[in-house]
Amino acid sequence: MQSYSIFSLARHALSGHKNWRPAWRAATPRRRYKVIIVGGGGHGLATAYYLAKVHGITDVAVLEKGWIGGGNTGRNTTIVRSNYLWDGSAALYEKSLKLWEGLSQDINYNVMYSQRGVLNLGHNLQDMRDIRRRVNANRLNGIDGEVLDTAGVKQRVPFINTSADARYPVLGASWQPRAGIARHDAVAWGYARAADDLGVDIIENCEVTGVRREHGRVVGVDTTHGEIGADRVGVVVAGHAGVLADMAGFRLPLESHPLQALVSEPLKPMLDTVVMSNAVHVYVSQSDKGELVIGAGIDAYNGYGNRGSFQTMEHFLTALIELYPIFSRLRMLRHWGGIVDTSPDASPIIGKTPVDGLYFNVGWGTGGFKATPGSGWVFAHTLATGEPHSINAPFSLERFHSGALVDEHGAAAVAH
Amino acid sequence: MLLITCPWCGPRDESEFSYGGEADIVRPPEPEAIDDAAWADYVFMRTNTRGLHREQWVHAHGCRRWFKAERDTVTYDIRATWPMNEEAP
């Protein structure tokens, strides 16, 4: 692999940047692999990378129906945090956050993880009680967190509307200093490049059209490039998990919804942290280009159309203006939607399925990006050993039979 | 924004309605007679159809009555809406 560094940049500058090699090979699929990963988003590529790096399994193909970085990995609002209430979620997202902290060095690709902290605002007394409980739970789980009062919020974000007569007054916030944002495209490209370097085949424009089974065991997949055999198949998709489960003959407790986001015109640096609000429901951060990145909740109806309804946008923009009157004349440059698979308890499903050798890592809902490294790490363990890691054991499909849900609705610091 | 035809009030903006999820899910008549997997299937599992999807809506800011709809989940076109107690047109 050509190493990326200040020296390689200088060397290539001398030749006019004409000799950079592609970051990964355009692999043609072989007839058979030990492990096939369906879905070349961040989670799938991270899974492939950790399979090769941690478990030494390099006979791996990642099948992506579009292009790398073209799905939800490139559509999210890039927030990374781990301040979840329940022990199971805290372990999963904190594992991920620890991996984020060393990721750029690990994969020799600058993912621009900026630990600028995340504020989760509280607007009434119950919000503040919930925030105290969550911060205490976080600290017991070894996750950093502080409770701020109104003055503490104002100190970090001076232009936030903290007047006492606001419709939803800002009474305080939880503050996770190690949280932040990362460059989402770089995460996909960096993992793709690092996995490719370890021998993983990344096959773009290759859609899976069927899951081949014999005697209750997976033996491969049908694709637009023909049949490909495999000992184990890991499905890591967003937006179409139900479609893949249908191919394999079982049902999932998931519903697909559009999730929209907006980017504003670029501004001078003014917001050096991430602010999320549950009650008025909007979250905002400022990208390195100066654009405000703004998101909120899903559209209520089921949809696969990569777009949502106008009034959802209107809802989170009125919330934005309520909290930040200074943004009232800001123009929006881009708007888009992605499709997220929401689960009944707002937690993902990572583990075994009714089909032997077939594993699913799906249902991340609105919050999958932050979990990219940890999700890949635990799912690689699951694919390599055939059993879930202790971190993803609580996130089995069986929890919907046993009733042991990981209920992160609201508990996750934002509404889902 | 979707334009949804309430069977009683006619075409109205989506913002007047609330979504009620997949339609035609029948509660098992004898819950105590089925196992956990069958109960979980009733409570949690969904078809999550890509294409024509039968679903429930309520005209929350109108007549407040529930009805069923068949909507394409890719194009978002609504093929038909009809009252809860009637057959699909």
Computed on alpha carbons and rounded to an integer, the radius of gyration of chain B in Å comes to 15
Domain assignment of residue A16, yes or no:
no
Q: Which residues of A181-220 are buried (b: 16+ CB within 10 A; e: fewer)?
A: bbbbbbbbbbbbbbbbbbebbbbbebebeebbbeeeebbb
Domain assignment of residue A11, yes or no:
no
One-letter amino acid identity for A4? Y
Is A175 found in the same domain as A189?
A: no
A256: chain B residues, CB-CB within 8 Å: 48, 50, 73
Is residue A341 a contact partner of residue A350, using CB atoms and an 8 Å limit? no
Nearest to B46 among A255, A305, A401 (CB): A255
Is A195 found in the same domain as A103?
A: yes
Which of B17, B48, B71, B72 has the most A C-beta neighbours within 10 Å, making it the best mutation to test the interface with A?
B48
Q: Work out the pLDDT band at A208, boundaries 50, 70, 90.
A: very high
Is A213 found in the same domain as A249?
A: yes
Kindly report, residue by residue over B16-60, the tens digit of the pLDDT: 999 999 999 999 999 999 999 999 999 999 999 999 999 999 999
Q: Chain B residue closest to A341 (CA)? A: B48
- Reply yes or no on whether the pLDDT at A239 is more than 90: no
Is A265 found in the same domain as A217?
A: no
Domain assignment of residue A66, yes or no:
yes
Q: Supply A269's token pair.
A: 């640096």
Nearest to B74 among A305, A311, A402 (CB): A305
DSSP 8-state code for residue A278: T
- Reply yes or no on whether the pLDDT at A415 is more than 60: no
Is A148 found in the same domain as A64?
A: no
How many degrees, rounded to 5, is the angle at CA A140 between CA A136 and CA A142? 115
- Reply yes or no on whether the pLDDT at A18 is more than 80: yes
Q: How many helices (H) and strands (E) does chain A have?
A: 10, 18
Is residue A171 a contact partner of residue A161, using CB atoms and an 8 Å limit? no
Is A188 found in the same domain as A91?
A: yes
Q: Chain A residue closest to B53 (CA)? A: A302
The Cα A63–Cα A208 span in angstroms is 8
Residue labelled with tokens 């999320």: A276
Interface residue B85 vs chain A (CB under 8 A): no
Note the pLDDT of residue A412.
Answer: 65
Count of positions (residues) in chain B: 89
DSSP letter string, A127-168? HHHHHHHHHHHHHHTT---EEEEHHHHHHHSTTS---TTSSS
Is A242 in contact with B40 (Cβ distance < 8 A)?
A: no
The Cα A76–Cα A341 span in angstroms is 14
- Reply yes or no on whether the pLDDT at A414 is more than 80: no
Crossing angle of the two packed helices A372-385 and A87-106, in degrees rounded to 10: 100
> Domain range holding A213?
23-109+183-253+345-402
Note the pLDDT of residue A165.
Answer: 85
% of chain A with per-residue pLDDT over 70:
98
Is B76 in contact with A252 (Cβ distance < 8 A)?
A: no
Q: Measure in Å the smallest separation between the Cα of B48 and chain A Cα atoms.
A: 5
Q: Measure in Å the smallest separation between the Cα of A16 and chain B Cα atoms.
A: 45
The stretch A273-285 carries a mean pLDDT of 91
Picking from A291, A307, A342, the residue at the C-terminal end of a domain is A342
Is A310 found in the same domain as A237?
A: no
One-letter amino acid identity for A242? G
| Neighbouring residues of A371: CB distance < 8 A, sequence distance ≥ 6 | A43, A92, A93, A96, A348, A364
Is B76 in contact with A254 (Cβ distance < 8 A)?
A: no
DSSP 8-state code for residue A74: G
Is A254 in contact with B48 (Cβ distance < 8 A)?
A: yes
Nearest to A195 by CA among A350, A349, A79, A35: A35
For B3-83, CATH gives 3.30.2270.10
Q: Where do the structural domains in chain B lie, given as residue ranges?
A: 3-83
ipTM score of complex: 0.95
Is residue A176 a contact partner of residue A118, using CB atoms and an 8 Å limit? yes
Domain assignment of residue A17, yes or no:
no
- Reply yes or no on whether the pLDDT at A358 is more than 90: yes
Is A319 found in the same domain as A353?
A: no
The stretch A152-180 carries a mean pLDDT of 94
How many degrees, rounded to 5, is the angle at CA A306 between CA B3 and CA B78? 30
Crossing angle of the two packed helices A125-140 and A87-106, in degrees rounded to 10: 60
Note the pLDDT of residue A326.
Answer: 94
Is residue A61 a contact partner of residue A26, using CB atoms and an 8 Å limit? no
Is A302 in contact with B14 (Cβ distance < 8 A)?
A: no
Domain count, chain A: 2
Is residue A76 classed as helix, strand or coil in its secondary structure? coil
Is A236 found in the same domain as A368?
A: yes
Is A243 found in the same domain as A99?
A: yes
A300: chain B residues, CB-CB within 8 Å: 18-19
Domain assignment of residue A412, yes or no:
no
Note the pLDDT of residue A411.
Answer: 65
Q: Supply A166's token pair.
A: 């606001």
Nearest to A309 among B2, B43, B48 (CB): B2
Q: What is the pTM of this model?
A: 0.95
The Cα A229–Cα A82 span in angstroms is 37
The Cα A23–Cα B10 span in angstroms is 56
| Least confidently predicted of A50-54, A70-74, A371-375 | A70-74
Indicate the average pLDDT of chain A.
94
Phi, psi of A198 (to 5 degrees): -90, 5
A304: chain B residues, CB-CB within 8 Å: 50, 73-74
Residue labelled with tokens 């899903």: A298
Is B50 in contact with A401 (Cβ distance < 8 A)?
A: no
Is A324 found in the same domain as A262?
A: yes
User: What residues are paired with A87 via a beta bridge?
Assistant: none
Domain assignment of residue A411, yes or no:
no
Domain assignment of residue A163, yes or no:
yes
What CATH number has the domain bearing residue A165?
A: 3.30.9.10
Helical (H) or strand (E) element with A290:
none
Interface residue B44 vs chain A (CB under 8 A): yes
The Cα A330–Cα B27 span in angstroms is 50
Is A251 in contact with B53 (Cβ distance < 8 A)?
A: no
Q: Supply A39's token pair.
A: 């879905």
Kindly report, residue by residue over A378-407, the tens digit of the pLDDT: 999 999 999 999 999 999 999 999 999 999
One-letter amino acid identity for A392? N
The Cα A390–Cα A408 span in angstroms is 19
The stretch B66-71 carries a mean pLDDT of 98
Nearest to A51 by CA among A375, A396, A395: A375
**What strands, in cross-sheet order, belong to the sheet with B52-58?**
B18-22, B52-58, B66-72, B78-83
Q: Work out the pLDDT band at A49, boundaries 50, 70, 90.
A: very high
DSSP letter string, B10-63? EEEEGGG-EEEEES-PPPPS-GGGS-HHHHHHHHT-B---SSEEEEEEE-TTTT
Domain assignment of residue A171, yes or no:
yes
- Reply yes or no on whether the pLDDT at A33 is more than 90: yes
Q: How many CB pairs under 8 A join A and B?
A: 68
Is B15 in contact with A242 (Cβ distance < 8 A)?
A: no
Is A251 in contact with B74 (Cβ distance < 8 A)?
A: no
Is A301 in contact with B75 (Cβ distance < 8 A)?
A: no
Interface residue B3 vs chain A (CB under 8 A): no
Is A338 found in the same domain as A232?
A: no
Q: Measure in Å the smallest separation between the Cα of B15 and chain A Cα atoms.
A: 7
